[in-house]
Amino acid sequence: MSEVNLTRATRENLTALRTAIEQAGKAGNRMATGVKVQTALDQPSSYFSSQALGEQAADLNRILEKIGQGIQVVRAADQGLTSIEDLLQVARANVERAQASLSAFERADIARDFNAVLKQVSETAADSGYQGRNLLGGDGNDLKLYFSDQLVNAVTIKAVDLVNIKGSLDLEPVEVGHFGTLEVDLALGSVASADTRLIGDASNFTDGDVITVKNAAGETVALLEITDQTRVSDLLKAFRQPNLGLRASFEDSKLTIETADTMTITGGTAGGAFENATIDAIPSEWLGRVDIDDPLTPEDDNRLDLPDMLTRVRAAILTTRDMASSFGTSFAMLQSRESFMKGFAGTLLSGAEQAVAADRDEEAANLLALNVRQQFASNALSFTTEADQGVLRMLGG
């Protein structure tokens, strides 16, 4: 194929047209994308500055993700502390109920409630973790967060141990014990009632017997002298000393005696149910009561020390509030730092974009100028072509 030689003027006009078209394409692309420097060849300094700022922003975003997760760890601990304080308020109410109660049996039941609350405190603390980190779980749960990718600027939030409430709150479950029971058939006939006399068909009592109930300390809890006029109701009345850990009920000639402490019953007919009968029980730690103005003595091991117990529960409540305050401060600090770093990461990204950004107004003006240049080049090429054709016409005659 033979090569077509263009005139110098035609070649120059074609080159000018091609250049204008290429530059117009670049200007149009800059207007569409808003990016002026797309590769290092366009403008090396701006390109690499933008890359560095973008990488720094990416590093900050990775740190921000960890800080965000750390905030959730602190939030979980704070929620756990709120629930624990509510539980401790219930524990405090239990102690006050026990102090107000006039029944050793009820106080033992309240002691069980108290222990259940303390168990919930420990379990709530154990359940207050987030993604394997529990600030209420003690050793090994400290939270360390870095504020830079160089791993030099960091904060450490110390964990507390509320799973072990004895060590952290000076609270521990109390002995609830168990009640003792003695069931006696009074053999008073099929129609026995509270008004039925104890002496009659029964073989458990004789006139002049003295029924005595003593606790483990040898203290008399109940005393009743039997006469021919003593009725079942009198026996029940004597045996109903709930504050001292003794109660009784009667149904179908059956007398049921319950004790909150080991007790011994003496008196009655030889060989009868009340001759040296022992009712075994394990006393609750809250068997007895101690008034605020009635200090404990060494012999009062099984009496509820209200002032001491309330002091300990109140101190535990204040301790949890101090912990919550500390975590609240850490939470606010992390939120503030997170907000700052988010803003700073945004600033870095804006700087990265501005380093390579195109000025759309400038690019629009360039595009307009290049379009005009294209028109000029096209017209010049047309003129050149027409001139060449005129020469051909002359030569062709």
Residues 190 and 275 in one domain: yes
Residues 235 and 86 in one domain: no
Within-domain flag for 297: no
Within-domain flag for 224: yes
Residues 243 and 188 in one domain: yes
Residues 221 and 82 in one domain: no
Residues 193 and 335 in one domain: no
Within-domain flag for 40: no
Q: What is the pLDDT of residue 291?
A: 42
Residues 162 and 71 in one domain: yes
Within-domain flag for 194: yes
Within-domain flag for 190: yes
* Amino acid sitting at position 117: V
Q: What is the pLDDT of residue 194?
A: 81
Residues 167 and 308 in one domain: yes
Residues 226 and 260 in one domain: yes
Within-domain flag for 47: no
Q: What is the pLDDT of residue 61?
A: 79
Q: Mind listing the pLDDT tens digit for each residue in 105-149? A: 999 999 999 999 999 999 999 999 998 899 999 999 999 988 876
Q: What is the pLDDT of residue 271?
A: 75
Domain count, the chain: 3
Residues 208 and 308 in one domain: no
Residues 271 and 374 in one domain: no
Residue range of the domain that includes 216: 180-282
CATH number for the domain spanning 222: value is: 3.30.70
CATH number for the domain spanning 90: value is: 1.20.1330.10
Q: What is the pLDDT of residue 388?
A: 55
Spans in the chain with pLDDT lower than 50: 1-2, 4, 290-296, 298, 300-303, 359, 397
Residues 118 and 141 in one domain: yes
Residues 58 and 156 in one domain: yes
